[in-house]
Amino acid sequence: MKDVPDRGDLTVGKLFEILGDRLEMETVSGNSGFGRMIQSQDISRPGMALTGYLHKFLHDRLQIFGETEISYLNSLDLPRRNSLIAAIFQFPIYCCIVTKGLEPPDELVRLSKSNSSALFRSKMDTTPLINELHSYLDLVFAPRTNVYGSLVEVFGAGVLCTGRSAIGKSETVLGLLERGHRLIADDRVHVRRIGNTIIGTGDSAMAHHMEIRGLGLVDVSAFYGIRSVKNRQQINLEVRLEEWSRDNQDFDRTGLIQKISTILDLPIPLTIIPVLPGRNLTLLLEVAVMNYLLLKKGRNVPEEVEKDLIARIRMKELKSGKKKNLEDLREN
């Protein structure tokens, strides 16, 4: 994603460039501090620090001055106000944001410039601005990795299609696009963990393009329309394509065993589909997603069938005078 740089590349100037319009921000101190690095995804409101209590002052965060902080400073006499503002600038503050379009005190403006610290003013209310900043910084500072495969949205679920090279991942996804589903990434998927959610995006240089052997690069949005592509998607399910062979026939036939994959230490449901000549992998992947969606709604079809079969067998055993408990039937 072009608008989400690596955590070590996010400067104050880059933050202003990306979020300035969305957060209705203007710079009060010119381009002072634009080269400073954003050091943390956390945000601070320096209320206690402005009273003179500087123990454990969280200076390495974005500092948000809301109506409470500004009205408090304006209630003080000038020497006291300037003294308290100067006290927090003993620390290497890199960015302050004043909300609600309020006028920052002159001393805050002066010290921001002299200490190469950025000072912005936003028209937004404090809480919505903090929420927007948190959402963006969580993306930037999230744990991340790259996964080789294709990411596609099928029936609203994010499906990561994996498998060895040349097994048919891209061709399977191409079939899904023909059926109205949406591509997020092909070949290499950038994944980030945000809380307990895995978010996948594409490579910005190859966004919404697919490499098909024998055809070369395919522009998906040009072929199938803008509705066939998407920039990011939560990964809900991994579907792994594995080649069927006489030496590798250990594939699930009942669906009773729920397989799990792990991405960035988070468990992701896994379905393994054996690849054989003549199998419609696109259709099978759609069915895998529908099975996943049914499970999310509380329906486990294999378990329902198993319970029905056990009930039928028990009835027959009772009628024939033979008694077996449920565990015996499960084992047999």
> How do residues 205-226 score in pLDDT, each as one tens digit?
777 888 888 888 888 989 999 9
Give me the mean pLDDT over the 128-150 stretch: 93
pLDDT digits (tens, 9 = 90+) for 167-190: 889 899 999 999 999 999 998 899
- Give residue 8's pLDDT: 75
Nearest-angstrom CA–CA distance, 307 and 326: 10
For 263-281, what is each residue's pLDDT tens digit?
Answer: 999 999 999 998 888 889 9
Is the pLDDT confidence value at 322 over 60? Answer: no
Specify the pLDDT at position 41: 92
Q: Which two tokens stand for residue 146?
A: 């790259």
Instruction: Give the span between the Cα atoms of 188 and 265, in whole angstroms.
Output: 19
User: What is the average pLDDT across 283-303?
Assistant: 84
Q: Which of 114-118, 230-234, 303-307 has the lowest mean pLDDT?
A: 303-307
Model pLDDT, residue 294: 87
Q: CA nearest 133: which of 232, 246, 240, 15? A: 15
Structure tokens at 177: 């696009």
Give residue 2's pLDDT band: very low, low, confident or very high (50, 70, 90): low
| Record: fold of 7-141 | 3.40.1390
Residue-wise pLDDT tens digits, 75-131: 999 999 999 999 999 999 999 999 999 999 999 999 999 999 999 999 999 999 999
- State residue 111's pLDDT score: 95
Higher confidence at residue 305 or residue 112?
Answer: 112
Question: Can you give the residue ranges of every domain in the chain?
Answer: 7-141, 144-299, 302-331
Q: In what order do the strands lie in the sheet with 237-243?
A: 182-185, 150-154, 157-163, 237-243, 266-275, 259-263
Query: pLDDT class for 295, splitting at 50, 70, 90?
Result: confident
Q: Which fold has domain 144-299?
A: Rossmann fold (3.40.50)
Average of per-residue pLDDT across 188-215: 87
- pLDDT score at 306: 63
Distance CA 199, CA 108 (A): 39
244-263: pLDDT as tens digits: 876 665 666 655 567 899 99
How many Cβ atoms are within 10 Å of 141's Cβ, its own excluded? 18
Give the mean model confidence (pLDDT) for residues 294-302: 75
